[in-house]
Amino acid sequence: MAANSPVFELLQRNEEEFVGRDLIIAGDILDPMVFSLVKRAHSATVIVDNYVVCKKMAAMIGKSMDDSCPQVIEYKHVKLIFADVKSALSHTNEADTLLLLLSKSKQQTLKLLNTLKSKLKKEALVYTAGSNDGGAKSADSLLKPLGFVKKVDLARKCTLFKAIYENDFNTYKGVQDIKVNPINIPLTLHQDSAVFSQGKLDNGTAMLIESLKDLTPFGSALDLGCGCGVVGLVLSKLGFKNVTSTDVSAAAIELTKENAKLNGCDSIKVKASDMLTDLDRFDLIAVNPPFHVGVTTTTAPTVNMIIEAKDHLTKNGVMYLVANAHLGYEKVLLENFDYVQIVSSSTTFIVYKARMEEK
């Protein structure tokens, strides 16, 4: 999302709403400029799920971040927290104002609202902001259980609502655990409404795991963009001793940690990353890359990852990548690797195996 995103422009022209307030900002924060809304707040806690965005926000106050999660950065009257919302609670101050940047997942917004209510004073102001095609136009329905709701502004195909927290509410039910059995490896998986594919193992990931079943465990393995962590769990169960799972999302990182512990795979290293940036070399990279940023479809991060991948593989290293068939990654793979093989395919997905020539 560009620095002058439509959602930020909507909020910027209403920034007087947040002056002098004890403010919490959370949700689908993809524009680091949202951080500028805290300047004239009395106090502010900003809970950021996206590692890349959080790093940019930290830089705005002259701070740097490592790859750990959760991570709390304090500066003057502001706390910047890279964490899932549950982990962030213990670091979050009581507030009289909550601003939720809407996710395309209604359930994720409800989770945030119901989790953060414990930090809200009575009659606190609760705002929702987002693009209309991401559900912002009807977000008043999420706020009505709280009390009085009104539309504050509508601009750039985005909507800002405000509610007064007058009534207690309980409008979110947690996501149930699931049991899966990929390549005859039984796993129990915690789920999270903030992390891709709830309720089942998505077909692309299932195809990727199927393509790994005959591997002889060797060297170091990376589950890149780990989501709930299932690929790293399978690699660990197959006998890989050195498995790293990474994601840009704090919710995914926390979920992967929970699932590693739940399934007896405590040796998996779990950390934050911006795709391959700052990561080492691996003998195996397995990836089911996302192609959505918020409600926007984009292949650019995956294309850049493919270009960089050969520099993150060992001499005999190999990358397995699953992608929607229509995204057309074969061309960029062929341009950057000596050998590219289609391991399996369906009408929807293709699993590619790519490696450099041994030298």
Spatial distance between the Cα atoms of 97 and 14, rounded to a whole number of angstroms: 14
As given in the structure block, the two tokens for residue 126 are 């609760």
What's the token pair of residue 250?
Answer: 């704090």
Per residue of the chain (359 residues), give pLDDT as tens.
Answer: 445 799 999 999 999 999 999 999 999 999 999 999 999 999 999 999 999 999 999 999 999 999 999 999 999 999 999 999 999 999 999 999 999 999 888 999 999 999 999 999 999 999 999 999 999 999 999 999 999 999 999 999 999 999 999 999 999 999 999 999 999 999 999 999 889 777 889 999 999 999 999 999 999 999 999 999 999 999 999 999 999 999 999 999 999 999 999 999 999 999 999 999 999 999 999 999 976 454 456 789 999 999 999 999 999 999 999 999 999 899 999 999 999 999 999 999 999 999 998 75
- The candidate with the shortest Cα–Cα distance to 106, out of 146, 152, 141, 148, is 141
Terminal-residue alpha carbon distance, the chain: 41
Cα atoms found within 13 Å of the Cα of residue 179, Cβ hemisphere only: 2
Query: Which pTM value belongs to this model?
Result: 0.95
